[in-house]
Structure 1
Amino acid sequence: MSKSLPPRRNRASYTMDFKLELVEKSYQPGVCVAQLAREHGINDNLLFTWRQRYSHLLPDEIQRTINKPAPLLPVVVSDMPLSSRSEPHYEPGIPPRHDTMVCELTVSGASLRMYGDLSPAILKTLIRELRGGRS
């Protein structure tokens, strides 16, 4: 009895130049990594893997932006009487809850208000995006 095996699928092979070109493009301001991957016919996760593996091979000016620590922003915490606060604006259909944490970020004229438990990583990402992708 002989069974025939299904034909073996070959993996796609990409040149190092192609990988580095996409990794470099993925670090440009405003670039969506997943969209860039799809535009070049590769899986999103593959490009993210290449970014981890090959970012040390990029030009120095790009590496400096990758490794640059997020700047600290000054924060002032104060107790204000409820009557002196301006009335918050809520989207229709989303009733405000009094036990929900609210974080409002205003950077370079752009404002974003978030509700719920927000991790420091989420806040760091929001600040970076409000600044236009710059760290």
Structure 2
Amino acid sequence: MDRVTEFTEIKGARKYRRRTVDEKRQIVEEALSSGRSVAEIARSHDLNANQLFDWRKQYLDGRLGVNGRECALLPVTVDEAGDSGVAEPAACVPPVSMPGKIRIQLPRGEIHVEGSADPDTLRVVIQCLSR
């Protein structure tokens, strides 16, 4: 009778690391804010780049625990009113009732808002132009 003298190790199923929502959000924010490529960031966190792209999409859709109403701070410059033709509001009129003007310059475009704007629509426009 022949005996088997060779031992072969049977590898178990691959174990995947489960990331918390906070970890995912932190990695995505790193990918969005740094000048490094997605592939480089994915490698540094032992991820597949496709997984990071999926998390980034979830993040931008507000599905990684980020409240859609939270706002990101953007650099702002204030121009002097000077001769802009915009009248100063009277002291007795609440500032909320007066329509305003906002001009936002982003790398991919410029946004001009006059009067009141829907905050959700403005957020989506800013997100799209900030990418």
Structure 1-normalised TM-score? Answer: 0.39
* Larger Rg over CA atoms: 2
Higher relative contact order (CA 8 A, sep 6+): 1
- TM-score normalised according to structure 2 size: 0.40
Higher helix proportion (structure 1 or 2): 1
